[in-house]
């Protein structure tokens, strides 16, 4: 009988406003009056760090939140408005020591040069704990903010026009990430000399033009920000089908997926691995995390009653892209272990009510996973790549690599 301990699971939390349930802001633990303060986000992220989580993602967008996936709505009984995710992460970074900080950035209307230096800056500020969650937008109202492209309103993904637009936006996102990655490498690690005696601050030969010419971008480089401490901060993305799975295969270090049962989880992982091989990245680590919205209480009955109360406040049952778990921390641990057997290496949990369900994750679920030897007892690395088991990549432009 093997004495090899079971593999540790990776665990992240997705932070979105007061929580992922649309009525979360009306719960006593929600703190809606603090939502647009630095203290609110500091409290959430330090709580996640208390639970030894790998990282947090911070949601963001380029238009007000909407119950319609492809258009704005006029509802006033939901949280609307956000703080900038990169700036939240930068504010909280000096107040944390271990947890990864992964803000969301919309590639569709944002220049990769700006994103590369923003995430590189976050990596410097945090001492190597930055990541990037890249996403697209096909919303007509968000395109109208910028005036550089026209997107007709999409009401369903089932139309040929919608599929054409989505495919093009994901191809653009793949190029966007490629430019970002090249810009991170445009400074060699030892490009800065900082020798006051000789008056040499920088070795100009170790800054490189990236010369990217593609369908969507033409970027000369180099960046204005030195190479990040991690070399390449981890890139992550959420994917729901073949087209976004290809983005994961081509450019991501972590993909978030939303299987609703173990058979679907197994099929999704197999499809992503096939796409990864087709992209020529079969030898590289690509984590696949399952996304779950969670309502955690002392009993399943309590959690179900709370969900019913939230649904009543929202005026309709909650439905979303990810499966919803309603129960206890022990029951959730069972689900995570079963799902991990299908090839998932970690999970990104979405607290239904951040003020209630995040502490349940850190103070109930994490100890349960530790008892099962499925989660760490202490942070073992100072960088996000280290926590994820990702080696620091060599610089593609350095003479040593050449």
Q: Report the helix count and the strand count for the chain, using DSSP H and E.
A: 12, 13
In DSSP notation, 234-284 reads PEEEE--SHHHHHHHHHH-SEEEE--SSHHHHHHHHHHHHHHHHHTT-TTS
Contact residues for 87 (Cβ-Cβ < 8 A; gap 6+): none
- Judged by phi (left if over 0) then psi (alpha if -120 to 50, else beta), residue 58 lies in beta
Closest CA to 85 of 125, 46, 48, 56: 56
Q: What are phi and psi of 192, to 5 degrees?
A: -90, 120
Measured CA to CA, the distance from residue 252 to residue 245 in angstroms comes to 10
Q: Are 329 and 360 in contact (CB under 8 A)?
A: yes
Measured CA to CA, the distance from residue 262 to residue 283 in angstroms comes to 25
Question: To 5 degrees, how large is the angle CA 139–CA 141–CA 69?
Answer: 35
Is 190 annotated as belonging to a binding site?
Answer: no
Quote the DSSP letter at residue 198. T
Measured CA to CA, the distance from residue 29 to residue 45 in angstroms comes to 16
Pairing outcome for strands 192-195 and 200-202: antiparallel
Is 60 annotated as belonging to a binding site?
Answer: yes
Which pair of tokens denotes residue 166? Answer: 């989505």
**Which residues contribute to the annotated binding site?**
60, 104
**Which residues contribute to the annotated binding site for FMN?**
60, 104
């Amino acid at each position: 009988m093997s004495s090899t301990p079971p593999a540790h699971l990776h665990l992240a939390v997705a932070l979105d406003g007061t929580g992922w349930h649309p009525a979360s802001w009306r719960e006593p633990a929600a703190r809606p009056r603090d939502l647009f303060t630095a203290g609110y986000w500091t409290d959430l992220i330090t709580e996640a760090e208390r639970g030894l989580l790998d990282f947090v993602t911070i949601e963001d967008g380029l238009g007000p939140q909407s119950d319609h996936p492809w258009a704005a709505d006029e509802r006033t009984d939901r949280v609307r408005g956000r703080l900038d995710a990169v700036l939240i992460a930068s504010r909280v970074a000096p107040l944390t020591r271990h947890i990864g900080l992964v803000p969301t950035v919309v590639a569709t209307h944002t220049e990769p040069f700006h994103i590369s230096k923003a995430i590189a800056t976050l990596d410097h500020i945090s001492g190597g704990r930055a990541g990037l969650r890249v996403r697209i937008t096909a919303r007509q109202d968000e395109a109208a903010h910028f005036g550089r492209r026209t997107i007709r309103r999409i009401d369903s993904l089932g139309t040929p026009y919608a599929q054409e637009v989505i495919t093009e936006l994901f191809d653009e996102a793949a190029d966007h990430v490629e430019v970002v990655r090249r810009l991170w490498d445009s400074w060699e690690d030892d490009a800065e000399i900082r020798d006051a005696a000789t008056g040499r601050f920088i070795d100009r030969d170790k800054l490189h033009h990236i010369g990217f010419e593609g369908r969507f971008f033409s970027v000369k480089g180099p960046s204005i920000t030195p190479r990040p401490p991690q070399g390449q901060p981890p890139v992550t993305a959420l994917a729901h089908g073949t087209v976004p799975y290809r983005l994961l295969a081509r450019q991501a270090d972590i993909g978030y997926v939303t299987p609703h049962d173990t058979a679907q989880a197994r099929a999704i992982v197999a499809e992503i691995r096939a796409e990864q091989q087709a992209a020529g990245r079969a030898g590289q680590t690509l984590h696949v995390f399952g996304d779950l919205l969670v309502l955690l209480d002392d009993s399943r009955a309590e959690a179900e009653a709370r969900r019913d109360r939230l649904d009543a406040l929202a005026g309709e049952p909650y439905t979303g892209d990810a499966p919803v778990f309603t129960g206890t921390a022990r029951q959730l641990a069972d689900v995570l272990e079963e799902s991990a057997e299908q090839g998932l290496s970690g999970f990104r949990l979405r607290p239904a009510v951040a003020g209630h369900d995040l502490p349940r994750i850190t103070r109930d679920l994490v100890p349960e996973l530790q008892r099962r030897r499925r989660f760490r007892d202490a942070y073992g690395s100072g960088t996000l790549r280290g926590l994820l088991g990702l080696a620091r990549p060599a610089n593609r432009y350095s003479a040593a690599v050449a």
